[in-house]
A = this chain, B = another copy of it.
Amino acid sequence: MQNMMQSQSSMAWKGFHASIAAPQHQNIVKYTKVERNGNMEMLRNGYLFTEIFKKQMEHMEKYPDAKIISLGIGDTTPPMPRLVTTAMQEYSNALSTIEGYRGYGLEQGNMPLRKAIAGNIYKNMGFNESEVFISDGAQGDIARIQLMFGSNISIAVQDPTFQAYVDTSMIMGQTRKQAVEYMRCSPEKSFFPELAGVPRTDVIFFCSPNNPTGHAASRRQLEDLVSFATNNGSIIVYDTAYSFFISDDSPKSIFEIPGSKQVAIEISSFSKFAGFTGVRLGWTVIPKELRYSNGYQVIKDFDRIMCTCFNGASSIAQAGGLACLTPEGLQGIRGVMDVYKENARSLVETFSSIGLKVYGGVNSPYAWVHFPGCKSWDVFNEILEKTHVLTIPGCEFGPSGEGFIRVSSFGKRDQILEACKRLKRLFA
């Protein structure tokens, strides 16, 4: 969920960087005696999207007249349902009145929204609203969950997957004790790891529908995952940021699987589902049944983290989120979702017609395209050079992503169709 635009300021640092450490300057530049955090040093320099943005800039310089189309960043584009924005407008307006003004809310989120999530999204799963924590989005919650677990745990991730799990693991210093376990998820194995060969870790991050492959884990796969975690005494951190795209009968929540409450946390977001990428709203569910080895409830530590390191999601965003979960709101969102799905179908059809294997795009806004024998960055470069279309090189999501690109269906309809036309022409 990093933004391509972040790179604007990252690039501005070049200037600062150039002024470091030239020996003749060391007398004027005063350093503190505070040691840089070694965990930060371990992170790769630069973000994926900084690199993509640099490529885009270079490309625009080379072809100033080119009409670039981005199938890169997973950013939402269709407008939000009016019902949702009206709720936020009304909430904002009330803040300027004596009766309507509200200050601090609960750090864990406003009760009506927590109730609506427990009652709508986790219907009949027996959750109390106190097990739902409202946040400013999944990315913040991933970091807060890592902060809660601390530096002594070991983690496993899917390969390929969203890299924030690995980056936050490094920032916490977890990787100093034990390397991240990459669980290979290949198309040949239905994008599911061969669990028999995966060593035990304390925590398993699992994203479904997966970013970038677009694969939604089946019920059978998730039963295997829960049973694996149960046998190992591991905790699954299940990321369902894309679950609203699921069209078939794949589970939309890990909590559809019996026994999961004793081994899983679920993270989710309004970002992709309701276009809240800029408004910022998400949630995390921690079942009261989930306990550490000493019997202490995980939910109690997460509550402490939310109160100490966070102070509640924006009250206006929460008013919008509540409107999303009304029957009218959900209907409006389905309309938005249909646009993305149509886009995804066009992209899948395009690459299939070229004779390439395409995965995802059905239960996910992302399609995952295989170019056997090719390097992801070469494919990325060739498509950009010849069609002015931006994609994301699959190798950046983990070693098993090599040879793939990720294309996103978040985009305006006409732009997507134009991109499809150019791609067909390129590979014709």
Contact = CB atoms under 8 A, between A and B. Distances in A.
Contact of A96 (B33, B84, B305): B84
Interface stretch (A186-194, A228-236, A350-358): A228-236
B305 A171 contact: yes
Contact of A47 (B105, B153, B275, B307): B307
B36 A296 contact: yes
Given A104-B3, A143-B147, A305-B171, A280 B312 contact: yes
Nearest to A308: B167
A164 B36 CA distance: 22
Interface stretch (A116-124, A134-142, A372-380, A393-401): A134-142
Interface string A399-419: 000000000001000000000
A33 B296 contact: no
A92 B92 contact: yes
Count identical subunits in the complex.
Answer: 2
A316 B93 CA distance: 12
B275 A103 contact: yes
A148 to B, nearest CB: 6
A152 interface: yes
A102 B3 CA distance: 13
Contacts of A207: none
A151 B421 CA distance: 53
Interface in A308-334: 308-317, 320
A412 to B, nearest CB: 8
A161 interface: no
Given A33-B232, A293-B36, A295-B20, A310 B47 contact: no
A278 B79 contact: no
Q: Binding site of A, secondary structure by majority: helix, strand, loop or mixed?
A: loop
B153 A34 contact: yes
Contacts of A311: 1-3, 136-137, 139-140, 280
A35 B97 contact: no
Contact of A136 (B79, B149, B296, B314): B314
A125 interface: no
Given A309-B143, A311-B1, A80 B95 contact: yes
A232 to B, nearest CB: 7
A77 interface: yes
Interface residues of A, number: 121
A107 interface: yes
Contacts of A100: 79
A33 B234 contact: yes
Contacts of A97: 79
Given A13-B299, A33-B234, 5 more contacts: A13-B300, A84-B96, A137-B311, A139-B308, A278-B314
17 contacts: A3-B106, A9-B130, A13-B300, A16-B297, A20-B296, A30-B291, A31-B233, A36-B301, A37-B301, A40-B304, A73-B104, A75-B104, A103-B278, A136-B280, A139-B311, A140-B140, A140-B311
Interface of A: 1-3, 5-6, 8-10, 12-13, 16-17, 20-21, 26, 29-40, 43, 47, 73, 75-82, 84-86, 88-89, 92-93, 95-98, 100-108, 128, 130, 136-137, 139-140, 142-143, 147-153, 164, 167-168, 171, 173, 202-203, 230, 232-235, 262-263, 275, 277-280, 288-297, 299-301, 303-305, 307-317, 320, 410
